[in-house]
Amino acid sequence: MKYTQLGKTSTKVPVIGQGSMGIGGYLSRDARSDEEQIAALRLGVELGMTFVDTAEAYGDGHSEELIGRAFQRARDRVFLATKFSPEHNDHENVLKSAELSLRRLKTDYIDLYQVHWPNPSFPLAETMHAMEQLVSEDKIKYIGVSNFSLKELKQAQAAIGGNGVVSLQAEYNLFDRAIETAVLPYCQEENVTLIAYSPLDQGRVASGDRRIQELREIAAKYGKTPAQVVLNWLISHPRVVVIPKATSQAHIRENAASSDFDLLPEDFNRIRQIFAPRYEQVPVQRIRIIAGVQGSRQVYQTAEEAKENKLGFRPSPMELARDMQDGEVLKPVRVIRSTDESGQYDYDLVEGRIRYWAWVIAYGGDKPIPVYVRESEHLGSAQ
Ligand SMILES: NC(=O)c1ccc[n+]([C@@H]2O[C@H](COP(=O)([O-])OP(=O)(O)OC[C@H]3O[C@@H](n4cnc5c(N)ncnc54)[C@H](OP(=O)(O)O)[C@@H]3O)[C@@H](O)[C@H]2O)c1
């Protein structure tokens, strides 16, 4: 296993860690038995993936409970990272969430405590000062943020002293490389560890025969699997660590062995080129917004509804629209080919329901919106 420095600190973390979102489900529980999941986490740690990431939201606390049970007697062997949910970003609730996480994790300190999502309902400085208080009380060691824009990351850094913000957790995989534009270069420059979540794109790899075939060819050259090559490519970027989630023992073994080789520069560059981000610009009217597509929950149907924001999303579509007008670049929304038979729509929205309406509010519906078209296969089928 290779290690890297955490932020500007002298602490080292393995470049391959373990995610645990699927372990409890996001809000519901994974069907696999608790014992199976505990065994999987322990195996991962045995194999060097000692950085374990969770959140109070995963499985509604159940993921933390399982991790607590898994490492209660081996606390010193793991680096535990957890997060509090955005509705708890006020001072009192940050402290309360930390206490509850400590209890579920069966420990008296959290190595890395992260703001899961920004929430403009609460001043960011208030959230960050609560985190500083937790550091001074030795309840947490380091402070991290997650899903923050570059602007929010800079604001968070400005709000605190000490070791500052040591890490930013953001989605980063072959399908979604949005952070490469500004966020990753900034983290590299400022020594902020970039924790890449969904590094395996939740088990998928972008489809298209040529791309999959090329990935397989590269993997074969090293005697590795496509997933191992993907993880290795990500951690070849300075400051990046990955936290794949795996429950199958075969996957855990594979992931743990994905830092023990070096991609040749020509292969690194080849992957960069063949998986060059494919954004398309699509007229907003050609995208269908319906609830229930690939798990998307409640949605707004009109810009007026989005402006009213009766569902209480934070940031609201209006707030995001203002950010866009101030020059903030938001990542493309995700779509799939539409299942609509009327011919009115080309795509169905699967992710980015707030960003979609923010775009419409900011540009009046006239400007095509950048989208990632999700066409993918599971990594298993690529092997
Ligand atoms: N901060 C945030 O907002 C946020 C959001 C999403 C995720 N996260 C964190 O990031 C972690 C990882 O992201 P993720 O769970 O979304 O997705 P992921 O790690 O990209 O993918 C997980 C999926 O990939 C499969 N897999 C694992 N290793 C594999 C391999 N070697 N070959 C083929 N398939 C493999 C897993 O299957 P099996 O389980 O069957 O082995 C699982 O279905 C989460 O668990 C969570 O801790 C954070």
**How many residues are there in the chain?**
383
Q: Ligand 1 atom closest to Cα of 244? A: 19
Mean model confidence pLDDT for the chain: 90
Structure confidence at residue 23 (pLDDT):
63
**Ligand 1 center to 23 CA (angstroms):** 9
Q: Are 256 and 47 in contact (CB under 8 A)?
A: yes
φ, ψ of residue 187 to 5 degrees: the values are: -60, -40
Structure confidence at residue 218 (pLDDT):
96
Q: Which residue has the higher pLDDT, 134 or 203?
A: 134
CA–CA separation, 364 and 228 (whole Å): 44
**Ligand 1 center to 91 CA (angstroms):** 31
CA–CA separation, 258 and 226 (whole Å): 10
Structure confidence at residue 298 (pLDDT):
81
pLDDT tier for residue 163 given thresholds of 50, 70 and 90: confident
Q: What is the pLDDT of residues 21-80, one digit of tens each?
A: 866 555 455 567 888 899 999 999 999 999 999 999 998 999 999 999 999 999 999 999
**Residues contacting 112, CB < 8 A, separation 6+:** 6, 79, 80, 81, 82, 140, 141, 142, 143, 144, 166, 167
Q: Which residue among 26, 197, 247 is best mutated to probe the pocket of ligand 1, counting the most ligand atoms within 8 A of its Cβ?
A: 197
Q: Ligand 1 atom closest to Cα of 197? A: 10
pLDDT tier for residue 383 given thresholds of 50, 70 and 90: very low
Q: What is the pLDDT of residues 319-363, one digit of tens each?
A: 999 988 888 778 899 998 888 889 999 999 988 999 999 999 999
Peptide bond into 123 cis (omega under 30): no
Asked if the model's pLDDT at residue 107 lies above 90, the reply is yes
Average pLDDT over residues 143-168: 93
φ, ψ of residue 48 to 5 degrees: the values are: 105, -10
Q: Which of 31, 90, 94, 23 is nearest to 63 (CA)?
A: 23
Q: Are 4 and 259 in contact (CB under 8 A)?
A: no
Q: Ligand 1 atom closest to Cα of 248? A: 41
* Cα of 241 vs its chain's centroid, Å: 12
**Ligand 1 center to 200 CA (angstroms):** 6
Q: Ligand 1 atom closest to Cα of 231? A: 31
Task: Give the DSSP H/E element, type plus range, for residue 166.
Answer: strand 165-171
Number of other CB atoms surrounding residue 169 within 10 Å: 25
pLDDT tier for residue 106 given thresholds of 50, 70 and 90: very high
Considering only CA atoms, which residue is closest to atom 22 of ligand 1?
202
**Ligand 1 center to 18 CA (angstroms):** 8
Number of other CB atoms surrounding residue 91 within 10 Å: 15
Q: What percent of the chain has pLDDT over 70?
A: 92
**Residues contacting 105, CB < 8 A, separation 6+:** 54, 64, 67, 68, 80, 82
Average pLDDT over residues 93-118: 97
64: Cβ below 6 Å to ligand 1? no
Q: Which residues pair with 371 in a beta bridge?
A: 280, 333
201: Cβ below 6 Å to ligand 1? yes
Please, what are the domains in the chain? 3-274 (3.20.20.100), 279-378 (3.90.1530)
CA–CA separation, 144 and 252 (whole Å): 25
Q: What is the pLDDT of residues 211-255, one digit of tens each?
A: 888 899 999 999 999 999 999 999 999 999 999 999 899 999 999
200: Cβ below 6 Å to ligand 1? yes
Average pLDDT over residues 303-323: 91
pLDDT tier for residue 313 given thresholds of 50, 70 and 90: confident
Q: Which residue among 51, 149, 216, 245 is best mutated to probe the pocket of ligand 1, counting the most ligand atoms within 8 A of its Cβ?
A: 245
**Ligand 1 center to 130 CA (angstroms):** 30
Q: Which residue among 84, 251, 376 is best mutated to probe the pocket of ligand 1, counting the most ligand atoms within 8 A of its Cβ?
A: 251
Structure confidence at residue 203 (pLDDT):
81
Asked if the model's pLDDT at residue 132 lies above 80, the reply is yes
